[in-house]
Amino acid sequence: MRLGVAAMAACALAPAPSAAQTDPAVSFFRAAQVNDAGRIKPLLARGLDPNVRDPERGETGLIVALRNDAMDVFDLLIAQPKIALEAQAGNGNTALMMAAFKNNMPAVKALLARGAQVNRPGWTALHYAASAGALDIMRVLLEHHAYIDAESPTKVTPLMLAAREGQEDAVKLLLQEGADASLRDAGFRIDAAEFAERADKPWIAKAIRHHQAEQLMRR
């Protein structure tokens, strides 16, 4: 259930690509990690697949670039005609999800302009933006029809994540936009307010319950 945040943190500390890869691919991923677009251009010109994957994490160069804030490399790769925007890493992350987690608005906008999918089964970019408290990105995703009550494989919603991570403004935004605070996850079978309480954030639980009470009074 902590896949969104924990997996991202693990990825940030993950080792460099395996030497078992071909030399061009090794050079490609090393360059992507340090934002060296100049080293990548000739590799692509010689026919290297821009969607080649790091075998240890299953990440594409686009995802690696975003994880390392390597925007020169990101700009180069996203311009490639055959770039696979929806390619998933081994943990299910897509480029849009990584950009949302990193609160990288230029990357989010570029990916959406190229047609990146906002909604998908399981974890979504909105989950990650909510967990990171990336309010502006949350708004952009919602403007692009992100499903506000999207459910992870264990039915965790963006509101539950925001509540657990203590992202009070994200919680308020989701509630204002119509998130359902009564939903329960499939693991603990608790709602967003209880997620906040279990994470020692009683003020967020109080805000959620106050919102629910107001909603009942308006009916």
pLDDT value for 218: 86
pLDDT value for 165: 98
pLDDT value for 76: 99
Closest to 209 (Cα-Cα) out of 201, 1, 129, 130: 201
Confidence of residue 22 (pLDDT cuts 50, 70, 90): low
| Spatial CB neighbours of 189, under 8 Å, sequence gap ≥ 6 | none
Average pLDDT over residues 205-213: 97
* Domain-wise residue ranges, the chain: 1-114, 118-219
Average pLDDT over residues 186-193: 98
pLDDT above 70 covers what percent of the chain? 90
Please state which of the ranges 13-27, 32-46, 135-149 shows the lowest mean pLDDT: 13-27
Q: pLDDT for 100-123, tens place per residue?
A: 999 999 999 999 999 999 999 999
Closest to 135 (Cα-Cα) out of 160, 100, 178, 95: 100
pLDDT value for 2: 45
Please state which of the ranges 2-6, 21-25, 138-142, 211-215 shows the lowest mean pLDDT: 2-6
Neighbours of 48 (CB within 10 A): 17
Closest to 59 (Cα-Cα) out of 16, 6, 111: 16
Structural tokens at position 114: 């190229």
Contact 100, 137 (CB under 8 A): yes
For every residue of the chain, which 3-state class applies, written as one string?
CCHHHHHHHHHHCCCCCCCCCCHHHHHHHHHHHCCCHHHHHHHHHCCCCCCCECCCCCCEHHHHHHHCCCHHHHHHHHCCCCCCCCCCCCCCCCHHHHHHHCCCHHHHHHHHHCCCCCCCCCCCHHHHHHHHCCHHHHHHHHHCCCCCCCCCCCCCCHHHHHHHCCCHHHHHHHHHCCCCCCCCCCCCCCCHHHHHHHCCCHHHHHHHHHHHHHHHHHC
> Does this model's pTM top 0.85?
yes
Superfamily assignment of 118-219 in CATH? Ankyrin repeat-containing domain (1.25.40.20)
Structural tokens at position 97: 């999800």
Domain 118-219 in the same topology as domain 1-114: yes
C-alpha–C-alpha distance, residues 36 and 81, integer Å: 20
Domain 1-114 top-level CATH class: mainly alpha
pLDDT value for 23: 87
